[in-house]
Amino acid sequence: MDCPSCGGRCVRPAAHVLNSIDYVYMACRSCKNEPHIDKNAPRRSLQTAGLERCEHCGKAPLDLVMLEAMDLLVEEGLRDDREPLRSVGSPMIEIGYPLPYPPRLGNSQLILLMERVNRNAASRLIEIPEIKGVIRRSRHIPGVVDKNGHTWELLAGCDMRCDIIQSIYGDLVIYKNQSKIHIEFPRESYPKIRILEGLRIAGRSVIDGLCGPGTLGLVCVLAGAKKVVMNDIWLPAIENVLINLDANRDLLGIDSIELFDRGEKLVGSSPRLVGRAKGACEIDVFHGDIRELFSAVSPSDICILDHFPGAPLDEIKRAGSSCDEIVVI
Ligand SMILES: C[S@@+](CC[C@H](N)C(=O)[O-])C[C@H]1O[C@@H](n2cnc3c(N)ncnc32)[C@H](O)[C@@H]1O
Ligand SMILES: [Zn+2]
Ligand SMILES: [Zn+2]
C-alpha cells in the first residue's frame, strides 16, 4: 500500500506493526544508559558529551534527536541557546502506544510538531535520520470543529503515523495523516474504548457518525457488529478510514473493499458513499454531514457520537435520534 502522503511504504499491514511494537523502541544490550537530559534547562547549560547513536543497533535516544534538532534551529536563528530543549516542539513517535520508557529511535520514527519553524529549517531537520516529518501547527485543531475545516502544514517529509488501539476485542492500528487529523494519543486507560466495551455490540448495527480516522467504528467491527456505517464530514478523515480498512483487513475479517469517487470537497454536506467493505461485517463509509446522513442511511441499533470537547452537539444528537440507542462519547 503506497503512503498517500509521501508515496513510500509507511502504511504497513496491522499484523506487521503489532508484531513489532514489543521491541521497536527498545534499547539493545550495547545501547548506553538513558541520558535523562533536563528538557527545561537552557540548551547552553547542557552537558552532552558522549551522547551518540548506538554503534551496534544504530538507534538514538529521543534526547539526542531533540538536541540535534535544537542545535539546527539555533544555527538557523530560530531558537536561542538560552531556550530549553522543550522549545523545539512536540515529538510524536511513528507508532503511538503507551510506552513505559523513553523511546530509542531508528530511521524515520519521529514526527515533530512545531511552532517557529520554516520550510528551510524543516527540510534540514528531516536530514536528521530519525526525523520523518515536520509539521507546523497553528492554534486551530485540524479537522472540522464547527463549520470550517483546518489543517496544519506539513513542511517537510511525511506526516503518516499510527496509533495502536487496544481493546478486549483485540488490537487495531489506526493510521493518521497527522497534519490533517487531530491528535489523540492512546493512554493505558483509553476511556472511549472502555465505553464501547460496556455496550452490547455483537450482532447489532452501528453508526459511527463522527468517525474521524475510524477508531470507534472499527473497534465495533472487531466486537462483532453485523453492520457498521462510518461517516465524517472531513475528507482527510475519511481517506484515513479507507486506509485503515485496508491495513486492518485481516483483523477485521474483510474479504473485499470497493472504493468509489470521493469528489474534491474537503468539507462534505450531503452523504456520499465512498467505500464499502464486505466480510464478517458489512461496512459502509460515507463522507458527509451527519445532519444529512439519514437521507441515505437507515437508523441503526446504536449511534456513536464522538465530537470534539466543547463542540455544539444538539443538532448532531437530534440527527441520530431515530437510532435505538445514542452513545455520546
Ligand atoms: C473527536 S473527532 C472523532 C474521533 C474519532 N471518534 C476517533 O476516535 O478517532 C470528531 C470528528 O467529528 C467530525 N465532524 C464534525 N462535525 C461533523 C458533522 N456535522 N458531521 C460529521 N462529522 C463531523 C470531525 O471532522 C472529526 O473527525
Ligand atoms: Zn509516508
Ligand atoms: Zn543499541
pLDDT at 311: 85
Domain ranges in the chain are 14-160, 190-328
Would the pLDDT of 192 be above 90?
Answer: yes
CA of 305 to the centre of ligand 1 (A): 8
pLDDT digits (tens, 9 = 90+) for 42-91: 999 998 888 999 999 999 999 999 999 999 999 999 999 999 999 999 99
In ligand 1, the atom with minimum distance to the C-alpha of 145 is 15
Gap from CA of 3 to ligand 2 centroid (Å): 5
Q: pTM for the full model?
A: 0.94
For residue 191, the number of C-alpha atoms closer than 13 Å in the C-beta half-sphere is 4
pLDDT at 312: 84
Residues 227 and 300 sit within 8 Å (Cβ to Cβ)? yes
Ordered DSSP codes for 30-91: TSPPP----TTSBGGG---TT----TTT--EEHHHHHHHHHHHHHHTTSS-TTSBGGGG-EE
Does the structure show a pLDDT above 90 at 118? yes
Higher pLDDT, residue 320 or 155:
155
Measuring CA to CA, which residue among 114, 198, 112, 226 is closest to residue 158?
A: 112
Å from CA of 234 to ligand 1 middle: 8
Nine-digit cell string for 53: 547513536
The fold of the 190-328 domain, in CATH, is Rossmann fold (3.40.50)
> Which of the four pLDDT bands, split at 50, 70 and 90, describes residue 310?
confident
- pLDDT of res. 29: 96
* Mean pLDDT, rounded, for 301-319: 91
pLDDT, the chain, mean: 94
Q: Residue whose CA is closest, atom 12 of ligand 1? A: 210
- CA-184 nearest atom, ligand 1: 9
